[in-house]
């Protein structure tokens, strides 16, 4: 139940400095002028499992800054605190080192209104790259994994790299796909995120450059509104080394985001796109809120919102700021 996950925000006192149970340090309204991501002073949230009074005091001492705490609440296993002020890159880097995550509260979709979350699949909704796992079982992993890494960094053309990797799987038995599916590791927080979003009348879909075989499974398991991914061609129980239909590349992902939101009559401002790869950037940058999830340096440097340490419930931590 949602009430077991979220602290009941309507019962919190307006003046948090008077809360006897307030477990974070509180300073006066003299906030230092620090670096920020826009021309105006920005509210931020910090969230993490180890965020508490002691760690927050030490954090401020190391940076020699004063932060005004606006509010705090709990999401699942995460403590969330909203802060007024301007935050330096040094402050953000230190927060990451402490195991926290940080987000500026700018253009956050409203959790109280219907919305749409679009998830990448491989290394986002699930913990693996399915094509690498298939190749590993088929003893073809060395070549495939190397190409996957380059594609994720944007070093080589994604469509060409995908075709090359799929060609390397020619002759692999269809049963290998089932082997990977049987041990498919869902990313921590995925089920909780989907369940809680549905309580707020949000829809969730997967748009993946991975394989439909696995995306369809997740669609059914999680009762998603839709799943879009690449189809592997299979003949006589074996992979042919080819794909069927259009390839789901970055442009296809972006167009699919727009089509699904239009079909559901959800404004683009009420959409979230989250992924980890270079081919996710178009939809991440076009959604109302775009998040890089435990992505590589090449993706992170192009995105404002990043989840570095938290599981997928970090998305809900960010969204929850609109009801606190």
- Residues labelled catalytic: 120, 122
Chain position carrying tokens 């403590």: 79
Closest CA to 115 of 275, 305, 274, 6: 274
For the record, the structure tokens of 316 come out as 């809900």
- Phi then psi dihedrals of residue 307, to 5 deg: -110, 115
Closest CA to 107 of 158, 43, 154, 24: 43
Q: How many CB atoms lie within 10 A of CB 12?
A: 16
111 in Cβ contact with 323 (< 8 Å): yes
Closest CA to 306 of 20, 95, 138, 59: 95
Closest CA to 10 of 52, 71, 60: 71
Taking phi over 0 as left and psi of -120 to 50 as alpha, with beta for the rest, 85 belongs to left
Helix, strand, coil tally for the chain in percent (to 5):
40, 25, 35
- Phi then psi dihedrals of residue 7, to 5 deg: -60, 135
Chain position carrying tokens 């399915």: 130
List the strands of the sheet with 78-85, edge to edge: 68-75, 78-85, 42-48, 101-104
105 in Cβ contact with 40 (< 8 Å): no
What DSSP letter does each residue of 262-312 carry, written as one string? Answer: HHTT--GGGEEEEESSGGGHHHHHHSSEEEEES--HHHHTT-SEEESSS-T
For residue 76, what are the contacts with CB-CB under 8 A and spacing of at least 6?
5, 189, 192, 313, 316
């Amino acid at each position: 139940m949602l009430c077991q996950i979220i602290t009941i925000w309507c019962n919190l006192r307006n003046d948090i400095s008077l809360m006897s149970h307030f477990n974070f340090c509180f300073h006066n309204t003299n906030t230092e002028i620090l670096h920020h991501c826009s021309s105006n002073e920005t509210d931020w949230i910090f969230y993490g499992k180890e965020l508490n009074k002691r760690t927050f005091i030490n954090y401020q001492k190391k940076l020699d800054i004063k932060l005004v705490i606006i509010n705090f609440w709990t999401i699942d296993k995460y403590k969330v605190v909203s802060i007024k002020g301007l935050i330096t890159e040094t402050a953000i880097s230190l927060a990451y080192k402490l195991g926290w995550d940080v987000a500026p509260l700018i253009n956050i979709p409203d959790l109280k209104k219907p919305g749409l979350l679009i998830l990448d699949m491989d290394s986002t909704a699930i913990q693996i790259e399915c094509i690498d796992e298939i190749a590993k079982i088929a003893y073809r992993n060395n070549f495939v994994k190397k190409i996957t890494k380059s594609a994720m960094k944007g070093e080589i053309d994604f469509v060409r790299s995908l075709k090359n990797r799929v060609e390397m799987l020619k002759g692999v038995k269809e049963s290998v796909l089932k082997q990977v599916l049987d041990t498919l590791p869902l990313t921590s927080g995925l089920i909780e995120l989907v369940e809680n979003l549905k309580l707020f009348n949000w829809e969730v879909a997967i748009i993946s450059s991975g394989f439909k075989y696995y995306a369809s499974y997740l669609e059914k398991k999680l009762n998603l509104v839709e799943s879009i991914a690449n189809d592997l061609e299979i003949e006589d129980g074996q992979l042919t080394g080819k794909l069927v239909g259009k390839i789901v590349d970055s442009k296809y992902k972006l167009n699919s985001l727009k089509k699904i939101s239009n079909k559901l009559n959800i404004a683009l401002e009420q959409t979230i796109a989250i992924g980890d790869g270079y081919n996710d950037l178009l939809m991440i940058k076009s959604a109302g809120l775009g998040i890089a999830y435990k992505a590589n340096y090449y993706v992170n440097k192009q995105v404002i919102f990043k989840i570095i340490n938290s599981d997928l419930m970090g998305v809900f931590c960010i969204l929850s700021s609109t009801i606190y």
